[in-house]
Amino acid sequence: MNTSPGSLRDLAPGTIGMVLVGSSVTVSRSLVHAPLFATQAVRYAAATLLLLAFARVARVPVLRPRGREWLWLAGIAATGLVLFNVAVVRGVAHAEPAVIAVAVASVPVLLGLLGPLLEGRRPSRRILVAAVVVVAGAVLVEGTGRTDAAGVAWAALALACEAAFTLLAVPVLRRHGPWGVSVHAVWLGAVMLGVLTLLTGRPASPAAVGPAQWAAVGYLAVMVTAVAFLLWYRTVAAVGAGRAGLLTGVAPLAAAAIGALSGGGMPGLPVWTGLLVVVAGLAGGVRSPQPGPPVRKEPRPRKDTHRPTGAPASP
Protein backbone atom coordinates (compact mmCIF):
# COMPACT_ATOMS: atom_id res chain seq x y z
CA MET A 1 0.00 0.00 0.00
CA ASN A 2 1.09 3.58 -0.58
CA THR A 3 -0.11 7.09 0.15
CA SER A 4 0.21 9.20 -2.97
CA PRO A 5 0.55 12.99 -2.86
CA GLY A 6 -2.75 13.23 -4.73
CA SER A 7 -4.45 11.11 -2.09
CA LEU A 8 -3.07 13.30 0.69
CA ARG A 9 -4.41 16.37 -1.10
CA ASP A 10 -7.84 14.76 -1.23
CA LEU A 11 -7.78 13.89 2.47
CA ALA A 12 -6.42 17.23 3.71
CA PRO A 13 -9.69 19.20 3.24
CA GLY A 14 -11.71 16.64 5.20
CA THR A 15 -9.10 16.58 7.97
CA ILE A 16 -9.21 20.36 8.34
CA GLY A 17 -13.00 20.23 8.26
CA MET A 18 -13.06 17.75 11.15
CA VAL A 19 -10.66 19.95 13.15
CA LEU A 20 -13.11 22.82 12.71
CA VAL A 21 -15.99 20.57 13.78
CA GLY A 22 -14.01 19.58 16.87
CA SER A 23 -13.43 23.22 17.71
CA SER A 24 -17.19 23.78 17.77
CA VAL A 25 -17.47 21.83 21.05
CA THR A 26 -15.62 24.54 22.97
CA VAL A 27 -17.29 27.39 21.09
CA SER A 28 -20.78 25.97 21.58
CA ARG A 29 -20.45 26.12 25.37
CA SER A 30 -21.34 29.81 25.23
CA LEU A 31 -24.67 28.93 23.56
CA VAL A 32 -25.95 26.58 26.27
CA HIS A 33 -28.34 29.20 27.64
CA ALA A 34 -29.16 30.82 24.29
CA PRO A 35 -32.38 30.02 22.36
CA LEU A 36 -31.46 26.76 20.59
CA PHE A 37 -33.55 26.87 17.42
CA ALA A 38 -33.33 30.65 16.92
CA THR A 39 -29.54 30.89 17.18
CA GLN A 40 -29.03 27.84 14.97
CA ALA A 41 -31.44 29.26 12.39
CA VAL A 42 -29.42 32.49 12.28
CA ARG A 43 -26.24 30.44 12.01
CA TYR A 44 -27.39 28.48 8.97
CA ALA A 45 -29.04 31.46 7.30
CA ALA A 46 -25.76 33.39 7.53
CA ALA A 47 -23.84 30.35 6.29
CA THR A 48 -26.17 30.12 3.26
CA LEU A 49 -25.40 33.70 2.25
CA LEU A 50 -21.67 33.06 2.69
CA LEU A 51 -21.77 29.90 0.60
CA LEU A 52 -23.67 31.63 -2.20
CA ALA A 53 -21.17 34.49 -2.15
CA PHE A 54 -18.21 32.07 -2.19
CA ALA A 55 -19.77 30.14 -5.08
CA ARG A 56 -20.27 33.32 -7.09
CA VAL A 57 -16.69 34.43 -6.54
CA ALA A 58 -15.42 30.96 -7.47
CA ARG A 59 -17.81 30.91 -10.47
CA VAL A 60 -19.23 27.57 -9.40
CA PRO A 61 -22.81 27.02 -10.60
CA VAL A 62 -25.27 25.80 -7.97
CA LEU A 63 -27.76 23.53 -9.71
CA ARG A 64 -31.40 23.34 -8.74
CA PRO A 65 -32.37 19.98 -7.22
CA ARG A 66 -34.79 17.81 -9.10
CA GLY A 67 -36.95 14.82 -8.31
CA ARG A 68 -35.68 12.63 -5.49
CA GLU A 69 -32.70 14.90 -4.93
CA TRP A 70 -34.98 17.08 -2.82
CA LEU A 71 -35.52 14.15 -0.46
CA TRP A 72 -31.80 13.40 -0.10
CA LEU A 73 -30.93 17.05 0.56
CA ALA A 74 -33.83 17.54 2.95
CA GLY A 75 -32.69 14.39 4.75
CA ILE A 76 -29.19 15.85 5.18
CA ALA A 77 -30.65 19.06 6.61
CA ALA A 78 -33.12 17.32 8.92
CA THR A 79 -30.67 14.78 10.33
CA GLY A 80 -27.18 16.21 10.02
CA LEU A 81 -28.13 19.77 10.94
CA VAL A 82 -31.39 19.97 12.91
CA LEU A 83 -31.67 16.65 14.76
CA PHE A 84 -27.93 16.40 15.41
CA ASN A 85 -27.86 19.76 17.20
CA VAL A 86 -30.94 18.83 19.23
CA ALA A 87 -29.44 15.45 20.16
CA VAL A 88 -26.17 16.97 21.35
CA VAL A 89 -27.76 19.78 23.38
CA ARG A 90 -30.45 17.59 24.92
CA GLY A 91 -28.08 14.67 25.39
CA VAL A 92 -25.63 16.52 27.61
CA ALA A 93 -28.52 17.15 30.01
CA HIS A 94 -28.73 13.39 30.64
CA ALA A 95 -25.14 12.30 30.02
CA GLU A 96 -21.64 13.66 30.34
CA PRO A 97 -20.37 15.18 27.08
CA ALA A 98 -17.85 12.33 26.76
CA VAL A 99 -20.70 9.86 26.26
CA ILE A 100 -22.04 11.83 23.28
CA ALA A 101 -18.53 12.27 21.89
CA VAL A 102 -17.83 8.54 22.08
CA ALA A 103 -21.06 7.81 20.19
CA VAL A 104 -20.21 10.30 17.46
CA ALA A 105 -16.68 8.89 17.26
CA SER A 106 -18.23 5.54 16.30
CA VAL A 107 -19.37 6.98 12.95
CA PRO A 108 -16.39 5.51 10.99
CA VAL A 109 -17.71 1.99 11.57
CA LEU A 110 -21.10 2.88 10.08
CA LEU A 111 -19.61 4.82 7.17
CA GLY A 112 -17.06 2.11 6.46
CA LEU A 113 -19.87 -0.40 6.15
CA LEU A 114 -22.76 1.56 4.62
CA GLY A 115 -20.87 4.15 2.55
CA PRO A 116 -19.41 1.70 -0.01
CA LEU A 117 -22.78 -0.09 -0.24
CA LEU A 118 -24.46 3.18 -1.26
CA GLU A 119 -21.69 3.69 -3.81
CA GLY A 120 -22.29 0.22 -5.27
CA ARG A 121 -19.14 -1.37 -3.84
CA ARG A 122 -18.29 -3.95 -1.22
CA PRO A 123 -16.98 -2.60 2.10
CA SER A 124 -13.20 -2.80 2.39
CA ARG A 125 -11.98 -5.07 5.19
CA ARG A 126 -8.98 -2.79 5.66
CA ILE A 127 -11.17 0.29 6.16
CA LEU A 128 -13.46 -1.55 8.56
CA VAL A 129 -10.52 -2.71 10.68
CA ALA A 130 -9.04 0.81 10.64
CA ALA A 131 -12.42 2.26 11.61
CA VAL A 132 -12.59 0.01 14.67
CA VAL A 133 -9.07 1.13 15.66
CA VAL A 134 -10.01 4.81 15.26
CA VAL A 135 -13.10 4.34 17.41
CA ALA A 136 -11.08 2.55 20.09
CA GLY A 137 -8.63 5.44 20.19
CA ALA A 138 -11.42 8.02 20.34
CA VAL A 139 -12.95 6.16 23.28
CA LEU A 140 -9.62 6.34 25.10
CA VAL A 141 -9.38 10.07 24.39
CA GLU A 142 -12.90 10.97 25.45
CA GLY A 143 -13.24 8.38 28.20
CA THR A 144 -16.60 7.25 29.51
CA GLY A 145 -19.11 9.06 31.61
CA ARG A 146 -22.28 8.78 33.64
CA THR A 147 -25.56 8.53 31.76
CA ASP A 148 -29.10 7.23 31.94
CA ALA A 149 -31.46 5.60 29.46
CA ALA A 150 -32.39 8.96 27.94
CA GLY A 151 -28.71 9.87 27.57
CA VAL A 152 -28.02 6.62 25.73
CA ALA A 153 -30.97 7.31 23.41
CA TRP A 154 -29.76 10.85 22.62
CA ALA A 155 -26.22 9.52 22.01
CA ALA A 156 -27.58 6.90 19.60
CA LEU A 157 -29.54 9.61 17.77
CA ALA A 158 -26.42 11.78 17.51
CA LEU A 159 -24.53 8.81 16.05
CA ALA A 160 -27.23 8.13 13.46
CA CYS A 161 -27.48 11.81 12.49
CA GLU A 162 -23.72 12.22 12.09
CA ALA A 163 -23.60 9.16 9.84
CA ALA A 164 -26.61 10.37 7.82
CA PHE A 165 -24.89 13.71 7.22
CA THR A 166 -22.38 11.88 5.00
CA LEU A 167 -24.34 8.88 3.74
CA LEU A 168 -27.33 10.88 2.47
CA ALA A 169 -24.98 13.10 0.45
CA VAL A 170 -23.52 10.21 -1.57
CA PRO A 171 -26.39 9.98 -4.12
CA VAL A 172 -26.35 13.74 -4.86
CA LEU A 173 -22.65 14.59 -4.72
CA ARG A 174 -21.99 13.43 -8.29
CA ARG A 175 -24.39 15.96 -9.84
CA HIS A 176 -24.28 18.80 -7.31
CA GLY A 177 -20.72 18.53 -6.00
CA PRO A 178 -19.58 19.84 -2.61
CA TRP A 179 -20.84 23.36 -3.36
CA GLY A 180 -24.37 22.39 -4.33
CA VAL A 181 -24.85 19.90 -1.51
CA SER A 182 -23.55 22.38 1.06
CA VAL A 183 -25.71 25.28 -0.17
CA HIS A 184 -28.95 23.31 -0.39
CA ALA A 185 -28.48 21.41 2.88
CA VAL A 186 -27.70 24.61 4.77
CA TRP A 187 -30.59 26.73 3.48
CA LEU A 188 -33.01 23.86 4.00
CA GLY A 189 -31.70 23.50 7.56
CA ALA A 190 -32.18 27.23 8.15
CA VAL A 191 -35.80 27.02 6.98
CA MET A 192 -36.50 23.98 9.19
CA LEU A 193 -34.99 25.64 12.24
CA GLY A 194 -36.88 28.85 11.52
CA VAL A 195 -40.15 26.92 11.42
CA LEU A 196 -39.26 25.15 14.68
CA THR A 197 -38.52 28.53 16.26
CA LEU A 198 -42.01 29.74 15.39
CA LEU A 199 -43.70 26.52 16.47
CA THR A 200 -41.95 26.13 19.81
CA GLY A 201 -42.54 29.64 21.10
CA ARG A 202 -42.09 33.32 20.48
CA PRO A 203 -38.85 34.12 18.65
CA ALA A 204 -36.24 35.43 21.06
CA SER A 205 -35.27 39.06 20.88
CA PRO A 206 -31.78 39.73 19.52
CA ALA A 207 -31.10 41.60 22.76
CA ALA A 208 -31.54 38.33 24.67
CA VAL A 209 -28.37 37.00 23.01
CA GLY A 210 -25.15 38.56 24.28
CA PRO A 211 -22.13 39.68 22.23
CA ALA A 212 -20.10 36.57 23.13
CA GLN A 213 -22.96 34.35 22.01
CA TRP A 214 -23.33 36.22 18.70
CA ALA A 215 -19.57 35.85 18.19
CA ALA A 216 -19.95 32.10 18.74
CA VAL A 217 -22.81 32.01 16.21
CA GLY A 218 -20.63 33.88 13.71
CA TYR A 219 -17.73 31.44 14.15
CA LEU A 220 -20.05 28.45 13.77
CA ALA A 221 -21.62 29.97 10.64
CA VAL A 222 -18.36 30.81 8.89
CA MET A 223 -15.84 28.18 9.96
CA VAL A 224 -17.85 25.19 11.18
CA THR A 225 -20.63 25.43 8.58
CA ALA A 226 -19.65 27.26 5.38
CA VAL A 227 -15.95 26.32 5.34
CA ALA A 228 -16.08 22.92 7.06
CA PHE A 229 -19.00 21.67 4.93
CA LEU A 230 -17.20 22.48 1.69
CA LEU A 231 -13.98 20.88 2.88
CA TRP A 232 -15.73 17.75 4.13
CA TYR A 233 -17.89 17.09 1.06
CA ARG A 234 -14.90 17.70 -1.19
CA THR A 235 -13.07 14.83 0.50
CA VAL A 236 -16.18 12.59 0.46
CA ALA A 237 -16.56 13.19 -3.28
CA ALA A 238 -12.86 12.47 -3.89
CA VAL A 239 -12.21 9.38 -1.77
CA GLY A 240 -15.65 7.96 -0.95
CA ALA A 241 -17.75 7.93 2.20
CA GLY A 242 -16.11 4.86 3.72
CA ARG A 243 -12.55 6.17 3.56
CA ALA A 244 -13.51 9.74 4.45
CA GLY A 245 -15.45 8.45 7.45
CA LEU A 246 -12.19 7.51 9.15
CA LEU A 247 -11.41 11.21 9.42
CA THR A 248 -14.34 11.76 11.77
CA GLY A 249 -12.02 10.38 14.45
CA VAL A 250 -10.10 13.66 14.15
CA ALA A 251 -13.02 15.69 15.57
CA PRO A 252 -12.91 14.37 19.16
CA LEU A 253 -9.12 14.66 19.13
CA ALA A 254 -9.38 18.29 18.07
CA ALA A 255 -12.04 18.88 20.72
CA ALA A 256 -9.77 17.43 23.42
CA ALA A 257 -6.75 19.45 22.27
CA ILE A 258 -8.64 22.74 21.93
CA GLY A 259 -10.31 22.13 25.28
CA ALA A 260 -6.88 21.73 26.89
CA LEU A 261 -5.58 24.91 25.24
CA SER A 262 -8.64 26.82 26.45
CA GLY A 263 -7.99 25.93 30.07
CA GLY A 264 -9.24 22.38 30.35
CA GLY A 265 -5.92 21.04 31.61
CA MET A 266 -3.16 18.92 30.09
CA PRO A 267 -4.37 15.52 28.78
CA GLY A 268 -3.33 12.50 30.83
CA LEU A 269 -1.73 9.23 29.78
CA PRO A 270 -4.98 7.59 28.54
CA VAL A 271 -5.58 10.55 26.23
CA TRP A 272 -2.07 10.38 24.78
CA THR A 273 -2.50 6.63 24.31
CA GLY A 274 -5.76 7.27 22.50
CA LEU A 275 -4.07 9.82 20.26
CA LEU A 276 -1.48 7.24 19.21
CA VAL A 277 -4.17 4.62 18.58
CA VAL A 278 -6.19 7.01 16.40
CA VAL A 279 -3.12 8.03 14.42
CA ALA A 280 -2.33 4.35 13.83
CA GLY A 281 -5.88 3.67 12.67
CA LEU A 282 -5.93 6.67 10.34
CA ALA A 283 -2.51 5.79 8.91
CA GLY A 284 -3.69 2.28 8.13
CA GLY A 285 -7.03 3.29 6.71
CA VAL A 286 -6.28 6.28 4.51
CA ARG A 287 -3.55 4.62 2.48
CA SER A 288 -4.43 3.84 -1.11
CA PRO A 289 -4.42 0.10 -1.81
CA GLN A 290 -2.20 -1.26 -4.55
CA PRO A 291 -4.24 -2.17 -7.62
CA GLY A 292 -4.90 -5.89 -7.66
CA PRO A 293 -4.34 -8.16 -10.65
CA PRO A 294 -7.01 -7.93 -13.32
CA VAL A 295 -9.74 -10.53 -13.07
CA ARG A 296 -9.55 -12.99 -15.95
CA LYS A 297 -12.88 -13.75 -17.52
CA GLU A 298 -13.28 -17.10 -19.19
CA PRO A 299 -14.73 -16.78 -22.68
CA ARG A 300 -18.27 -18.05 -22.92
CA PRO A 301 -18.74 -20.94 -25.35
CA ARG A 302 -20.38 -20.00 -28.60
CA LYS A 303 -23.84 -21.34 -29.19
CA ASP A 304 -22.99 -22.30 -32.78
CA THR A 305 -19.91 -24.39 -31.91
CA HIS A 306 -21.08 -27.32 -34.06
CA ARG A 307 -22.36 -25.36 -37.04
CA PRO A 308 -21.39 -26.76 -40.43
CA THR A 309 -18.34 -25.38 -42.15
CA GLY A 310 -19.20 -22.37 -44.24
CA ALA A 311 -22.43 -21.65 -42.41
CA PRO A 312 -22.87 -17.97 -41.35
CA ALA A 313 -22.17 -17.14 -37.72
CA SER A 314 -24.97 -15.99 -35.45
CA PRO A 315 -25.14 -12.23 -34.88
Which pLDDT belongs to residue 297?
Answer: 45
Higher pLDDT, 74 or 35: 74
Number of other residues whose CB lies within 10 A of the CB of residue 215: 12
The whole-number average pLDDT for the span 298-312 is 46
Question: What's the pLDDT tens digit per position in 21-34?
Answer: 888 877 877 787 78
Question: What's the pLDDT tens digit per position in 254-275?
Answer: 877 777 777 656 667 777 787 7
Burial class (CB within 10 angstroms; exposed 0-12, middle 13-18, buried 19+) of 163: buried
> Which helix (DSSP H) or strand (DSSP E) does residue 174 occupy?
helix 170-199
User: Is the separation of the CB atoms in 234 and 14 below 8 Å?
Assistant: yes
Question: What's the pLDDT tens digit per position in 108-137?
Answer: 777 777 778 777 788 778 878 888 888 787
Alpha-carbon 66 to chain mean position: 23
Which pLDDT belongs to residue 4?
Answer: 58
